[in-house]
Structure 1
């Protein structure tokens, strides 16, 4: 697991006294007092993009991960266009919910915010992300607390209710306000992926349009003008997530150990171990494998026996169950 420490390391060498060779005089050499400072990468950790000049000072908050509803009742979703990274995960009834990562930009309105799941432990832990949630079942809160995951739930400054929406889907979050509650400057998160350039990718096969079917929800993608668009998404016009990459990760699904209020089985996507993956970029797809050492471990990708680097840019991750779910390429 990669180190999370971004603290300055100081190495001080003692002054060396050297004997002079002329006239028997002893000459004292200048004291050597080098200080080696670990320099943070000048890139954003969730996209690999270069920091604009003067932007480093803005990295004074943790990664905030908003849980956003992904059913028709959520329309329009707000803030997705400003996210750096998005995970789509299965919830009860084989519907889906989004975990939207915000770091380079903190919008003043994101939502509708919904409850978190145990699945989120494996999603946010690699970058010490702070979950922004409307709440959760007590069992889920206990699981996240034991895993050391921080979360902020409705009831503090930074949340509001939108009266134009139905009660369940009315929670909105101001991420700038929520970030102010995190006073200590955190260490820069590790990069979520090993980033690279498109020319680093192995040969793929054409994939300009495809469906990701979770069983009771399908997310449809189409490639155009350099990015993949979620053609049946719920984001407001002009607020869509511009996906440079779509990464499909096949995961096992476990029983979270309790049911929802309607008595439905609550699934937990197990985001650790290893499995099959597909990386969509530039209108092509590359078959790959993934591995992750524990829920907080770094995600590793391989294709053809070699490390697979994710092209710099925004990535949408489909955390897709191994069973009863599929990806269909379309012409």
Structure 2
């Protein structure tokens, strides 16, 4: 995995100049100098250069620049309780991952890459769970801080973060939230000040496909994902107008994230070697390994299996018979549902017409 990622990063800068020659279909090519379609001299080895990308790596949707930027992927840790209302900036996200934290509540890891909002939040603290979330894309976590155990774990894993030592992540007491939930981040300014000298493109987060690739047949226009056991911690989704609309969320009405696909993964959990200030055990979700998955798209459900090769791996999906599953290009909400055990209650995924 590490070598393939290095290859993607290495070839992208060389291909940037050719992006204007590329269509949105699948890479395109320049005109050939001979009827056989090869510009090489007879007997010369064929070129092995990969085509320039034409899509965004976090959505699979067409991108005029092929998803090449001068900034990394940013993952904002955003509170997901009633105290977070309104959540800012989530409507500009490419991808959202929902994870369990202490007290039976959840927190969002919100991926920003193709669009960088000027205001995102309320920004909260990191967890060891975030290693498996951020590491595959070498993303930068945007956070209010973390416990020492988490900071040590992130350092060992080589995961970088941006906290309130940066002037673009700060507490703003404007009366909309209490003090704890008042930290906001200007992701746009973080991107403008990025020190990434060479334009690059991360790997595709999923194996992207089209609507036609989706083979789900089980009617599912209402989806209920339960990650935590706190009252109201489950999410209820309705399939409306080709999108999944969260019925009990806290997003700012002016910036609502309506995914094309909702994916629920059953994941293993454990307990971190510390407790939160209130004395609650801190769960760790292990976003690696393998397990069951349910993929919801187009008002239908597909039961599948997921796998992820270590914290650096990217998630892959297969059907029961081992056939690879592609995720239709678009915006995705990824719910990490606990399998349960060691002081962590099992979550659930249910659906109906």
**1:8 Cα deviation after fit:** 4.0
Q: CA, structure 1 residues 307+58, in 2 after alignment: closer, same or farther (shift >3 Å)?
A: closer
Deviations 1:96-154 (A, max 9, x none): 00000000001111000000100010011111111000000011011001001010011
Alignment of 1:76 with 2:98, yes or no, is no
Other-structure match for 1:297: 313
Among candidates 195, 206, 225, match of residue 208 of structure 2: 195
- Cα distance in 1 between the residues matched to 2:72 and 2:131: 16
Alignment of 1:216-227 (within 5 A): 216=230, 217-227=233-243
User: Number of residue pairs matched?
Assistant: 309
Q: Structure 2: any 5+ residue segments left out of the alignment?
A: 15-40, 341-345
**1:56 Cα deviation after fit:** 4.8
**1:192 Cα deviation after fit:** 0.4
SS at match of 1:141: helix
Other-structure match for 1:146: 156
Q: CA, structure 1 residues 244+35, in 2 after alignment: closer, same or farther (shift >3 Å)?
A: same
- Cα distance in 2 between the residues matched to 1:101 and 1:203: 26
SS at match of 2:294: strand
Alignment of 1:161 with 2:171, yes or no, is yes
TM-score (norm 2): 0.83
**1:35 Cα deviation after fit:** 8.7
Which has the higher Rg, Structure 1 or Structure 2?
1
Q: CA, structure 1 residues 36+275, in 2 after alignment: closer, same or farther (shift >3 Å)?
A: closer
**1:200 Cα deviation after fit:** 1.0
Other-structure match for 2:283: 267
SS at match of 1:183: coil
TM-score (norm 1): 0.89
**1:156 Cα deviation after fit:** 1.3
**1:180 Cα deviation after fit:** 3.3
RMSD: 2.1
Q: CA, structure 1 residues 57+330, in 2 after alignment: closer, same or farther (shift >3 Å)?
A: closer
Structure having the higher strand fraction is 1
Alignment of 1:1-331 (within 5 A): 1=1, 3-5=4-6, 6-8=9-11, 38-52=50-64, 55-56=65-66, 59-163=69-173, 164=175, 165-184=177-196, 185=198, 187-214=200-227, 215-216=229-230, 217-304=233-320, 305-323=322-340, 324-331=346-353
Q: CA, structure 1 residues 203+156, in 2 after alignment: closer, same or farther (shift >3 Å)?
A: closer
SS at match of 2:142: strand
Q: CA, structure 1 residues 180+77, in 2 after alignment: closer, same or farther (shift >3 Å)?
A: same
**1:91 Cα deviation after fit:** 0.2
Deviations 1:229-272 (A, max 9, x none): 11111001131111000000100111111100111000000111
